[in-house]
Amino acid sequence: MSGSGRTVRGSDGRTYLDFYSGIAVNLLGYDVPEVREAVERQLRTGVVHTSTFYLIASQVELAERIARLSGIDDAVVFFTCSGTEAVETALLLATEHRRSGRVVALRHSYHGRSFGALAVTGDHRWHGAGRTPLRVELVPDVPPQDGPGEVADEHQVAHGVSELTRVLDSEPDRPVAALIAEPVQGVAGAVPLADGQLAAYARAVRSHGALLICDEVQTGWGRTGRWWGHQWDDDVRPDLLVFAKGLAGGLTLGGVVGRREVMNCLPMPSISTFGGNQLSTTAALATLDVIEDRDLPARAHTAGHLLRGLLETGLAGVGGVRRVQGRGLLLAVAFQDPATAAAVQEECRTRGLLVGLGGSAGNCVRVMPPLTVTDDEVRRGAETLVAAAQAADRLERTS
């Protein structure tokens, strides 16, 4: 298998245009010279890893850079190996800081597959396990996938705030530690919270002294058209921001950036052996250079706008399509039926386009190309997806 730009050649010898990016990881695409050369330089030093027991220069540099990018005053960073481990870290810190195991999460959320991350995963498709280390209460977020709109309307937001406030007001001797929220719910099918919704939830949380954890594992590093997904709302100031996915150009790296007193609240020593080693942090610094130099958040905004417009126009009138949803280059096409979504995804693959499958109802084709995608590739990808949906519709009608 090999890859270059937005194209991968599979072990089947065929080439594919990649609009899934290894589940939103390959922000820059494949074989990016700046990242490859940085990783090769690091490998030539002979040091891949020494652990965080001794200071790692590239880790310190990366932490300082992420602290600045986070917009959080006097921020501190902790590195992990995955999104799940980063979510787990945020939950550990928030519950310790507030001395309470009560956490509020959103109904269609996905936060990972460890004991704690799964506990705050509201999406019923993923929340299979019955036992949990936390007391989790779920509050409304977006309308169900088969509802009328892509995002919550004014009344639904107001209802969500009042449900959240009811939870925050209950049991004063066992306060809520935190609300954890994705600004755009990726696994649920790229469903954004409504304008002002996260800000309204954040105000309710803050007025009760609880913390706001923004899970930016899918929405971070520019994918939604801004550096962070929460920046689509004014005045959202996360206490803890969770990141992972595309930071290190495909190498494993996640982490939490947050307010110093929360980040430093653990009474015991705490370490992630692999978290932020030389190789992954060097790759991350090179990746951030490219994102900043090419202003890829802005590119995600314009390319996302083009892609969404082409999909909306092309899919209008195609049977079985509900809508196109998402933000920037975190997009999905929602179908009436999960079987149609699966058929379209497979038809896309046959036609040389990689897309994903997801959605709370399993009915979404997920579309998240690298942020470096060209206009030409956007057009090609959109044409292929539309043709695949038309083919699936024809098949549906004749069967």
Contact residues: ligand PMP, CB under 6 A? 23, 82-84, 87, 110-112, 182, 186-187, 215, 217-218, 244
Count CB neighbours of 213 within 10 A. Answer: 30
Taken in order 22, 28, 29, 32, the sign of the CA dihedral is negative
| Residue with smaller CB distance to ligand PMP, 243 or 335 | 243
Residue 84 or 390 with smaller CB distance to ligand PMP: 84
User: Least distance to ligand PMP from the beta carbon of 252, Å?
Assistant: 8
The distance of closest approach from Cβ of residue 387 to ligand PMP in the complex, given in angstroms and rounded to an integer, is: 28
Q: Which is nearer to ligand PMP, 184 or 389 (CB)?
A: 184
Q: At what angle do helices 57-70 and 278-293 cross, to 10 degrees?
A: 40
Query: What's the chain's length in residues?
Result: 399
Of 232 and 377, the one with the shorter C-beta distance to ligand PMP is: 232
CB closer to ligand PMP, 217 vs 378: 217
Shortest reach from residue 229's CB to ligand PMP, in Å: 10
Closer residue to ligand PMP in complex, CB, 118/386: 118
We find the least distance from the C-beta atom of residue 112 to ligand PMP, in angstroms, to be 4
Shortest separation between residue 122's beta carbon and ligand PMP, angstroms: 12
Listed residue (374, 191, 362, 358) closest to 294, CA to CA: 374
Q: How far is the CB of 374 from ligand PMP (least distance, A)?
A: 26
DSSP state of 193: P
Say how far apart CA 286 and CA 58 lie, in whole Å. Answer: 11
Q: What is the DSSP string of 35-90?
A: HHHHHHHHHHTT-S---TTS--HHHHHHHHHHHHHHT-TTEEEEEESSHHHHHHHH
Neighbouring CB atoms inside 10 A of 193's CB total 27
Nearest residue to ligand PMP on Cβ basis: 83
First to last CA, the chain: 36
If the CB atoms of residues 83 and 320 are measured against ligand PMP, the closer one turns out to be 83
Using CB atoms within 10 Å of the CB of residue 215, give its burial: 0 to 12 exposed, 13 to 18 middle, 19+ buried. Answer: buried
Give me the least distance between CB of 262 and ligand PMP, in Å please: 19
Residue 53 CB contacts under 8 Å (≥ 6 apart), including other chains: 271
